[in-house]
Each structure stands twice: as structure tokens, then as C-alpha cells.
Amino acid sequence: MQSFGVDIGGSGIKGCTVDLAEGRLLGERIRVDTPQPSTPEAVYGVVADIVRRFGWTGEVGVTFPGVMKKGVAHTAANVEKAWIGTDIDADLERLLPGGPVQTLNDADAAGLAEMRYGAGRDKGGVVLLLTFGTGIGSALFVDGHLVPNTEFGHIEVDGEDGERRASAAAREREDLSYPHWAKRVDRFLDVLEGSVWPDLIIVGGGVSKRADKWVPLLSTRTPVVPAQLRNDAGIVGAALAANEHLTA
């Protein structure tokens, strides 16, 4: 069984055909820099081009960096605020050939992929996935069921937006060493642990490739493991959601 996933981010837009039996990309994904300004019309053009370059005509799953309800964006992180109130599903269905479009929060999509194919597979209880990138995305699962649009990256930590200090972008922006940054992540996780008491934390995003440099430095009571699908998780999760009509 195959489906197609597109992952819209603040810096790049990625897409590929996905093998849903194994949760892997079929061939090389296509990545295009996110247009600046990142207006809906400009981004739609990139998404449509990626889908057409694969010759895909079936259902398409799309991730978006914001709160999504029934295909409509209610917030927009690291993209233009013109997205707010936009019915992304309806707009893309008019542009793309073939099947329906399903859009969901980017971290929720990554979480669905990790729970089905990766580090969260067969895990019960409360599982929290966090993606560290331009911001911090979150996906919360209770006995395998998604609690959508949690947006824990914006929880207040010591009087400041959590992702402002603990995102991967903050580490790069302030040129922090991994040990220094790990202390910030630790504090962020302390606050989350006191709120949702997870049984497992999965950390994803590009920085998960270097998990050995910072995950062992964390002092959380909750086990922390790196995501297995890494930066492909959003594409895989979007394709899975579109195929199985998983809503977020």
C-alpha cells in the first residue's frame, strides 16, 4: 500500500511517495526551500510541483506548522500569519490531481509515524514526542491514541516561551555547546513532566541525529529515546494519516 506525504516547514518543504507497509520513503524525497514570504499561494505552488514531479494522483497527506482542525489552520508558526483561517485541504484539493488532501499538525504527523513504525511502536501509556527544530513541536499519545494540537513548545518555562530557549534553532542562534543546551532542554522537560507525567519521551527533528551528544546528559525521570524515522517522520505520518483518514 502506498500513499504520498508532504511536510511543510518554515525553512523547507519535503515530499515523497511512502510505502505504508514498512513506513519508509520510496525513492529520494524532494526538498525545496520554503518561499519567502511563505504565503499560502507560494507554498501551494511548491507542494503542487512536488506532487506532480512524482506523477502521483492519489490521496495526499500534508503537515503544517500550526494547530489544524478539519483542514483549517488556526495558528501559524514560522510561516506567514496569512495562513490563519485558511482551509488548506480545500485549497490543495483544487490544485492537486486525483485523491483528497488531509492536513494535520507537523509534530502530530511525526508522532503518528513514530508510534506506528518507530520508537513508539507497541508502546502503551502516555508517550510524548518532541521535535526540536526551528521551534519545538509536540505530539501526545495515550495508549496509542493521539491527543491533537498540544503545542507544548509554547508552554511557559521560567517566564519565557519554552521553544525560545530550548529549540535547536536557539542552540544554533546562541552558539551553545551540547552540554549547555542539554541543561535548557532538561529544564523544559522538567516542566512538561510535572504536567503530563509521560511514560516515554521520544525526541525528533534534525538534532536527533546527534542524540548521543545530549540525550545521555538529560536527568529526566522519564526515559528519553531518539526518534527512529528522524526527518522523514513528518512525510511518513502525513501519508499514513491521509490513507487511514486519521484526523487531527
Is the same domain home to 220 and 161? yes
Write down the pLDDT at residue 248.
43
Question: Can you tell me the mean pLDDT for 30-35?
Answer: 97
Domain assignment present for 50: yes
pTM of the model: 0.94
Is the same domain home to 104 and 149? no
Say if residues 110 and 129 touch (Cβ distance below 8 Å).
yes
pLDDT tens digits, one per residue of 120-146: 999 999 999 999 988 899 999 999 999
Is the same domain home to 68 and 137? no
45 to each of 51, 94, 245, how far by Cα in Å? Answer: 10, 12, 24
Is the same domain home to 130 and 200? yes
Write down the pLDDT at residue 230.
86
Spatial CA neighbour of 207 closest among 140, 115, 142, 132 = 132
Question: Whose grid coordinates read 506548522?
Answer: 65
Handedness of CA 219, 220, 222, 225 (dihedral sign): negative
Specify the CATH number for the domain of residue 58: 3.30.420.40
Domain assignment present for 70: yes
pLDDT surpassing 70 at residue 64? yes
Is the same domain home to 213 and 239? no
Is the same domain home to 199 and 238? no
The H or E element containing residue 138 is: strand 136-142
Is the same domain home to 101 and 9? yes
User: How many structural domains are present in the chain?
Assistant: 2
Structural domain harbouring 8? 2-108+232-244
Write down the pLDDT at residue 5.
98
Question: Can you tell me the mean pLDDT for 15-35?
Answer: 97
Average pLDDT, rounded, for the chain: 95
Domain assignment present for 68: yes
Is the same domain home to 13 and 99? yes
Write down the pLDDT at residue 119.
97
Write down the pLDDT at residue 205.
86
Is the same domain home to 59 and 126? no
What percent of the chain stands above pLDDT 70? 99
Is the same domain home to 181 and 218? yes
Burial of 37 (0-12, 13-18, 19+ CB in 10 A): exposed
pLDDT tens digits, one per residue of 73-130: 999 988 999 999 999 999 999 999 888 999 999 999 999 999 999 999 999 999 999 9
Write down the pLDDT at residue 247.
54
Is the same domain home to 163 and 130? yes
| Non-local CB neighbours of 55 within 8 Å, separated by 6+ positions | none
Write down the pLDDT at residue 208.
86
Domain assignment present for 114: no
pLDDT surpassing 50 at residue 183? yes
Is the same domain home to 138 and 203? yes
pLDDT tens digits, one per residue of 200-236: 999 998 888 899 999 999 999 999 999 999 889 999 9
